[in-house]
Structure 1
């Protein structure tokens, strides 16, 4: 009996206090914060595809694609396609939209069995390429895909490699940096996308400008805007690297 009472007293003295439980729970909150954030509401996703063209076959590839792209767009929606002018040579970049993964799987199956697409395009296009790459992305929760205000401009694809954590960690600062450029008119933001498959914690911002010179002018003015400088400074704390590509829309691109 004595041993039992003594042991109860001993273990009772080791029982964590309510304050300790509160401290432990509070310490767990940052982990919960990192795992949560704005949820993906849209099922619609976008596939970014980049093809590297043999330097001596660039014109041939674009001519063939211009003539035969209708065979592919009969199966699913093409948002746009561009050639990279600055930031990467002999690159063909295009965006496709899908409502679900099952829709994409059905489209891929149908395309693989389309004799016209295979014989008239794929068999001729593949020898002209050196590499292919793709990513699956969603629009960030606050972004919507927009059309350019007019045709005839240039597009900039800005790729940000963010530090791990996802939009719950860097989303607010990133949105503020994008808005600081978009709202005053230092470019027209057409969409901001975050990666689902491919390199994770990657964000692409698609911008439109009237011309390459207009883009240079806007960038110069943005660098003198204290609001932009402050917003970028806050966002860059979450950034590992950045890449910019200036692109020209193809004549057959729906977005141009």
Structure 2
């Protein structure tokens, strides 16, 4: 085997903490798959938020007929009058085909888009992959709240900060107070950005759990090591819509 290949394989194992079989399924900062996730954020006019959410719940079935919806939420804390939704695509050709089909879908365009666009102030999207060591999870039960945490990391990618970041995430998981749903690394949009989606039974359970975690020496050590590579972070408390697959 070529020496360069051995070095690359060892690097993968060290960075992501995976065995030989799993290493073959992971390349660099993302999983070795064409599947990606489009993360959409809409700013809604404050006076129109209730109307917009009602429209989504009523007409989203026209949209989900074309591609898979992972989740749809509105912000409760950390941001106001925003909605988040995540869509799964097999590849970029799949997304292109879906967008073309939506443009020609008279029900979607006529019943939802024509009425919803005037309610929006701004739209933003990103494309992201799940990191190699994370599969998309589900909450242990319906109900509860979600936390969307965005980390802006220093340039260099997971080769620089991947190991420390994963250790910090695992340290929080091991405390048992929260459930990890997904870790996404951006491909389009602001780069060197990681989004982490957590589920908690309630805002108070989250607050109590984080208080205990901050007194755990293992969590403190892992976080201190990870923040060396952090430029900024932001979070928001999300409430799932009735139509959201992740509830």
Alignment pair present for 1:147 and 2:145: no
Alignment pair present for 1:43 and 2:27: no
Alignment pair present for 1:208 and 2:175: no
Shift of 1:168: 1.1
The gaps in structure 1 that reach 5 residues or longer are 1-28
Distance, in Å, in 1 between the alignment partners of 2:160 and 2:50 is 43
> Which position in structure 1 is the counterpart of 2:82?
91
- After TM superposition, what 4+ stretches of structure 1 lie above 6 angstroms from structure 2? none
Please list, as runs of the form range in 1=range in 2, the aligned pairs for 1:105-116 lying within 5 A after superposition.
105-116=96-107
Distance, in Å, in 2 between the alignment partners of 1:184 and 1:84 is 26
- The CA RMSD measured in Å over matched residues stands at 1.2
Contact 2:177 2:205 in 1 (8 A): no
Contact 2:70 2:88 in 1 (8 A): yes
Please list, as runs of the form range in 1=range in 2, the aligned pairs for 1:1-256 lying within 5 A after superposition.
39=27, 40=30, 41-256=32-247
Shift of 1:242: 0.3
Write the deviation string for residues 8-33 of structure 1: whole angstroms up to 9, x where unpaired.
Answer: xxxxxxxxxxxxxxxxxxxxx9xxx8
Shift of 1:42: 1.8
Larger Rg: 1
Shift of 1:184: 2.3
TM-score with structure 1 setting the length: 0.85
Shift of 1:101: 0.4
Distance, in Å, in 2 between the alignment partners of 1:199 and 1:239 is 14
Distance, in Å, in 1 between the alignment partners of 2:66 and 2:38 is 14
Distance, in Å, in 2 between the alignment partners of 1:160 and 1:186 is 20
> Which position in structure 2 is the counterpart of 1:11?
none
Count of matched residue positions in the alignment of Structure 1 and Structure 2: 222
Shift of 1:93: 0.4
Contact 2:150 2:195 in 1 (8 A): yes
Which shows bigger deviation, 38-47 or 109-118?
A: 38-47
3-state SS, counterpart of residue 183 of structure 1:
helix
